[in-house]
Structures are given as C-alpha cells and as structure tokens.
Structure 1
Amino acid sequence: MKVVENLKRNKMVNALNHTQSTSSKIKAKKMYVSTPINRVQEVETRLNKIFKEELDSEGSILVSYKPEVVSKLARFILGHVNRSASIGIAGETASGKSTITLDIIDTIKSFATEFEIEDAITRVNTDDYYYDRSEMVKKAGSFAEFAKNYDLDVPHALELELMSKHIKELLAGKSVYLPKYDMSGTAKRYDNYTLANPSKIVISEGLFTLTDKIKDAFDFKIYVDVRSHVQKERFYVRAKERDLGDSADGIYKNASQKAEIYIRPCKAEADIVLSGEAVRARYKAFLNKLICIVQQENFRNKEI
C-alpha cells in the first residue's frame, strides 16, 4: 500500500511541477512580447544586422558608426521619442553630401506617398544662413572682388544660431519662415522667404552643419567622408562648370585649409560616417532596408 501511495504522490508532484513549469514559460513568453524594452531590443537586433552587413560589404556606403546610434534609431522608430527627428549632414566641399541628402529626401518622400504620410520631411539648407553681404558686393563691384577680402569658408560667415533656433522650433511643432540665400553672386539673403511646416523628419546639410553652434540641434549626426584626390577632382569639375577660371586654385586652397580647421574635426562628432564615393543606388538601398523596419513596426497591414 505504501508503495502505491508513494507512486501516486510522485505522479501528483510531477504533474504539479510540469503545470508550474508550463505556466512559467507562458508567463515569460507573454512578458517578453508585451515589454517595451524587449521590443526595442528586437528592433535594435535587426538594425544592427543591417548596419553590420553593410559595413562588411564590398563598396559599402558606411565607413563607421557608433553603436549608440542604433539604440537611438530604434527608439524613434517605435515612437518612444515623442517628437520629430532631426538629421544633420556635414562634409567638405564636393564630398557628395548634397547628393546624398537629396537621395534621402527622395526615398522618404516616395515612402510617404505610398503610405499617405503627410509632412514627412523638411529640408533646412545650411547655405541659406549665410549673412547678407549684398552691400559689400556692390561696393566691391563684383562678387569675385568681394570674395578676395571676405572668407565664406568659415562657420562665422553663417548665422548658425538662427538656423539652430529654426530647427528646434520645427521639432517643437511650430511653423517657421526660413531664409533664402542667393547663390548667383549677389550675396543677398532674403529673410522670411519660405514657410516650413513641422514634419516627421527635419534634415540639413552643409559644410558647417556639425560645428559647435549648430550640432546640438541634431538627433542624428552624419559626416560624409571622401578621399582628398577624389574630392579635388570633383571640385575642379564644378569650378569649370561655374567658370571660376584662374581663381579656382585660390578658392580650393583656402577651402582645404579651412576644412582642416573647421570641418574635418566634425568627423569625430558624427554618429555615422558615410563614404562619399559609393555607388549612388546603394544609399537608397540601405535606407530602404531601414524603412522596411519602420513599415513593419508602424504599418503592419500594408506591404512596402
């Protein structure tokens, strides 16, 4: 009888242990699915895979990235940061930063159109914040004469404090009137020229976008890196198109000297360093992989 009773008791204990174990697993599984921290970790894992695969690939658009940028990106994608995101892109002249910026804008706008997202992205152009020096140009007789005694390749040639203010106002959900700088040679700046409305993303690019007076306005800091001989070749192609003539050598020399002081150190500030020499289609392909995660997390009923 004791043997039978012991067997029954053991079966009951085993059954109870199995029930408790199964219950614990179910609870653990439910907890994992419902915990926001775990959701962030899942998205981080997927993002890390995308970044690492791109970094390790031949002809990569990535030179380097800081691990913390992946965590930050995951929080924005999941809506844990309750405001718009800002992106600042810097690099030397002829590095490819404007082309990359326009490709980013084009890719995001295409996604926004497909998914009927209003106010997806706003561009704030750093060059539009050059101080108005039109009177000085008139006195000099021409922009070329003016430029001989006025340096445009330094951050204090721009009103970066105003730019920072405008970006922060857009991030706070306010509409802002942006300036417009005439690049045709008048050095005229038209203030309150363009109405910019709040959007999901604010993006800016320019020589001095990651310098001290403006860098804190950006959530994501990107530097576009390019080898010196490639950058020089591009510069002279552009100089020929702009008919700079003999002045091109002096302009390039000054730009390079000032870049050493003001622009190249910004590379250390960047969350992401992009190659300015990759095949253009690869930038969009990489961004579309990130957009896929945005779609999966926020538009589950539609396919990208």
Structure 2
Amino acid sequence: MSLYKWSMGRNYSIDDIQSLEMEVTKKKQTYQIKKFKDPLYFEVGVFYLIRALQKLQTKITNRPVMVAISGPSGSGKTTITNKVLNVFSKAISISMDNYLDTSKHVIDENFDDYRLVDFDLLKKNLQELIEGKETKTPLYDFRKSGRYAYETISCKPGSIVILEGIYALHDHIRDFFDFKVFISGGVHYDLVKRIERDISRTGQTPKESFQQITETVYPMYKAFVEPTIKYAQLKIRNRFNPFTALLNPIYSIKSDTLIEKEKIKKLLGLKDYMGGRLQQYNDIYLRPPSDLEEEFEQETSGSESSSEKEEENNKDKIKDWIRVRNNVLSGNYEVQFSQVLHQDDFLITPSLKFAVSVKILSGLLSLGYTIDATIKRKARTFYNEDLGITIDTFVQMKNKAFIQIKGNNREKVKEAAKTLGFLGKGITKSYLELYFDYTEEKKLKRKLQKK
C-alpha cells in the first residue's frame, strides 16, 4: 500500500488535543514528542503542533527547538509555518526553496531534483543556529533562476527554528530536528495550488507549470518525498479548497427548454445570417486519486451499505474532477479544473483552463487520475461581448439538447435567462452529473427488462 495512504483513525477535535497529555521521550541527549498515530485535519493539526512546540520549549532550554515541515508542492507548508510564526514571537523560518543551486547540472529541466539542493550550506546554517551563532542564509529569485543575496539570521536558546520544504525530512538533514511534520492535501488539491503559486511566483503559464508538475514534480515526490512520511511525528491533511481563491468566476444557467435560434440571436443583437460557431468535443473526465479524505470517510461512514457509500462518494467527487477537452475539429486539447458551486439557478465555476498537449493526459494518469467518463458533445455557440449562449447536443444521450447561458456578469446572465423564459426553472446539475443520471437510468431499465 502506498505510503501516501496513511493509516486512518477517528476524527479528532481541538478539545481532544487540548485534553491530550503529550508523551515526551529523551533521545540522543535531546527530547522528542512521541509520534501521533493518526493524521489530523489542518486546524486541529496546527493546534497540536503549537502544543507540541510549547511542550518541547519546557524541556529544550539550551538551544532552539528545531522543527521540519515537509510535504508536496502546494500542500500548505508555508501557510502552516506562518501560523506558527504568528503564535511564537521568538520563532524564525527558513525556506528550502532558497537552497536551490542551479549552478549544478539540471537534467531534463527537473528543478525538483534533490541533488540541486545545497545541503552542505543548509547543514552549516542549521548547525550554527543550534550553536547560537549568526548565520548567512541564501536568497533565491525564481524569475531569474538564481541566488541573488544572503541574509544574516540568528536565534536565542528557547526560540524555534522552522525549516519548510519538500525535502525537509531528507536523510541529509533529518537528524537536526526535534519535531517533524508532514502535510498534504491529496494530489488533486496540491496540483492546483502548485499551479496557482507558479503563475504568481515564477511567471510560468499554467500550461508550462502543469507540464512541469506532471513530468518532474510529482515523479520526484513519489520517489523521494513520499517515503519520508514515516519519519514524521505529526501528519496533517490540508483540505483547503484552492478554488475559493480563484478570481473571475463564470456564471451559467442551463435548461432543457428548446429555444429558437432566432430568439437567441435577437437577444444578443446578432444579424439573421449569423449561424453561430459549431464545435464538436470529446470531454474526458478524470477522477482524482484516492486520498486521505476518501479513506477517512469510508472508515467512519457507519452502517451504510457499500453501494450507498459508493454512490454518495461519487456525488461528492464530481465537483473536483479535471476535464480534458478534445476539440474534434482542431485536434487541440484543453484542461479545466471543475469546481462547481450551486446558487439558485446558477452554476458558478472558476475560469481556470488552458491548452495542453495530449501528453498531459498520460501525465495525469501517471499521478493516479482515472478516466471515468468520455462525453461526446456538439455545441453551437452564439455570443456577443457580454454573453455566450450555447445549444449543446449530447450524442450518447440520444442527442438530448440543452441550452446554456454563460458570462462573467451574474446580472446579465440572469436577465438573459429571464428573457428566454427559463429563469427559476434552471437545471443546477453539471453535464457530468446529467450524464451519470442518464447512464444510471439506462442500467435500471435494463434490469427491469431482464426481470
């Protein structure tokens, strides 16, 4: 079983952690908190970490308490580090990102290769901090891909030093630390958050970031980071939803009411001869890899039957899937992260999509995504500068047609739906949900026919 699928236990609350008597053991002339068996959700995990550090501060008084926070890219290492810094006034943090040494040979554009980490300098910095000395730590510019300066830092006995980075639990430096943390949100969440970060920090396009993640970042994670989970005394699962931070949402209302094309063109102010843009798509829906959350839900779901649990899980997972769209006419591929929110008649989705190559599909499959549906769709779209109105026809659903109004302005989408006569009668299910409903109905009919 993959180490990514940690052992599961019951759900813990902050009250549980508050009443917990932490066991401190003496090891190699220092003190350590006994490993906590089960992974904790983010806020509870942060609370446990703070309590553990307070406990260690009462035992380790002749030097700083050394903490390592590891986990995959985008998992929330920096977020949890900042929360600790907000609590402890005498705490400092070091990011392993600054120890990237690109003067070494970079193979296949793999900047996540642990051999590019300047472990010699990092060990020197950590040792000097432990000894109460000032030390010069490097600063790295990701846009220029190079080290540009050094920063002098120091700390006093009784303070806290946090090292955060994907290789913070690597065997080169692991023995420096009194407390070790591993944090992850699952492949799907970490993937999206890494892309968001790369866009702002390195100036990469989403396509470039996505390609780098699937080709180098996660293969390196699976080989060299995931195996270090077993050394962590605390495991945290961070189910922060990255989609809530995305800007420019798209508002849409859909209906299965048939609307004449002339009425649509009149609403949009289009000429009679404008026939709209016709496209054909193969929409490939990929289910995220199984992660901690799914296992936890299965462990604690009580007396529900396996089929009921599976059905409920499928409903929950639909909102998190990735859609890879193949444009039949052009042959191009496009990725969209689907996180659908329902509000009245509206479906609200983040506008995070970008063109990719077909190789990305194989990269996603290598990360553990699985293809659960391929939906063939014909779409005729009429649009002006504010709205797009599409007539969608689904081949596998006996050419059932839907009309969908989309736009960035909620009120304009609402007014268009009112004009076309289906405001208040909108379908709030995504096309993937409607497709699953259709296939389930077909299965049920077949069963009844057999009887």
TM-score exceeds 0.5: yes
> CA-to-partner distance for each residue in 1:259-295, whole Å, 9 max, x for gaps?
001111111111111122269xxxxxxxxxxxxxxxx
Partner of 2:100: 130
| Count of residues in correspondence between the two structures | 206
Task: Look up the SS of the partner of 1:163 in the other structure.
Answer: helix
CA separation of 1:128/1:243 partners in 2, compared to 1, >3 Å: closer, same or farther? closer
Once residues 40 and 145 of structure 2 are traced to their aligned partners in structure 1, the CA distance between those partners, rounded to angstroms, is: 45
Contact 2:138 2:147 in 1 (8 A): no
2:127 is equivalent to residue 168 of structure 1: yes
- Equivalent residue number for residue 85 of structure 1: 65
Q: Relative to structure 1, is the Cα distance of residues 227 and 80 closer, same or farther in structure 2, using a 3 angstrom cutoff?
A: closer
Match of 1:261 among 196, 201, 223: 223
Amino acid at match of 1:231: D
Partner SS for 1:124: strand
Alignment equivalent of 1:249, drawn from 193, 197, 210 = 210
* Greater relative contact order (Cα < 8 A, sep 6+): 1
Q: Is the 8 A contact 2:132 2:155 kept in 1?
A: yes
Residues 184, 237 of structure 2: 8 Å contact kept: yes
Distance 1:96 1:174 in 2: 30
1:228 matched to which residue of 2? Answer: 187
Counterpart check, 1:76 vs 2:38: no
Q: Which residue of 1 aligns with 2:174?
A: 215
Task: Determine if contact 1:44/1:74 at 8 Å carries over to the other structure.
Answer: no
- Measure, in 2, the Cα distance between the counterparts of 1:179 and 1:60: 31
The answer to whether the 8 Å contact 1:161/1:214 transfers is no
Q: What one-letter code is carried by the residue in structure 2 that aligns with 1:92?
A: P
Do the aligned residues in 1 keep the contact of 2:181 with 2:232 (CA within 8 Å)?
Answer: yes
- The amino acid that maps onto 2:88 is I
Identity of aligned residues (%): 21
Match of 1:194 among 145, 151, 161: 151
Q: Deviations over 1:185-226 (max 9, x none)?
A: 232343xx1111123111110111111111111111111121
Shift of 1:131: 1.0
Distance in 2 between residues matched to 1:47 and 1:205, nearest whole Å = 23
- Cα separation, 2, equivalents of 1:207 and 1:172: 25
Distance 1:108 1:158, change over 3 A: same
Q: CA deviation at 1:47?
A: 4.0
Structure 1: stretches of 5+ with no match in the other structure: 1-42, 110-119, 137-145, 280-304
Higher helix share: 1
Residue in 1 that maps onto 2:424: none
* In 2, Cα distance between equivalents of 1:131 and 1:56: 33
Match of 2:234 in 1: 272
**Matched-pair contact (CA < 8 Å) for 1:210–1:266:** yes
Report if aligned partners of 1:96, 1:276 keep a CA contact under 8 Å in 2. yes
Task: Please say if residues 128 and 189 of structure 1, whose CA atoms lie closer than 8 Å, have aligned partners that are also in contact.
Answer: no
User: What RMSD over aligned residues (CA atoms) do the two structures have, in Å?
Assistant: 3.6
**Offset at residue 45 of structure 1 (A):** 5.7
2:160 matches 1:206: no
* Partner Cα distance (1:94, 1:74) in 2: 27
Contact 1:60 1:278 in 2 (8 A): no
Contact kept? 2:40, 2:236, Cα under 8 Å: no
Kindly provide the amino acid, as one letter, of the partner of residue 262 in structure 1: F
Name 2:330's counterpart in structure 1.
none
Give distance in 1, aligned partners of 2:197 and 2:141. 18
Give yes or no for contact 1:180–1:194 (8 Å, CA) kept in 2.
yes
Asked if 2 retains the 8 angstrom alpha-carbon contact of 1:178 and 1:194, the reply is yes
Letter in 2 for 1:151: N
Shift of 1:60: 5.7
Residue 60 (structure 2) pairs with residue 103 (structure 1): no
CA separation of 1:259 and 1:195: change in aligned 2, threshold 3 A: same
Superposed CA offset, 1:81-128 (max 9, x none) = 53211111011011011111111112212xxxxxxxxxx112222111
Q: Tell me, which stretches of 5 or more residues in structure 2 are unaligned?
A: 1-17, 24-33, 242-451
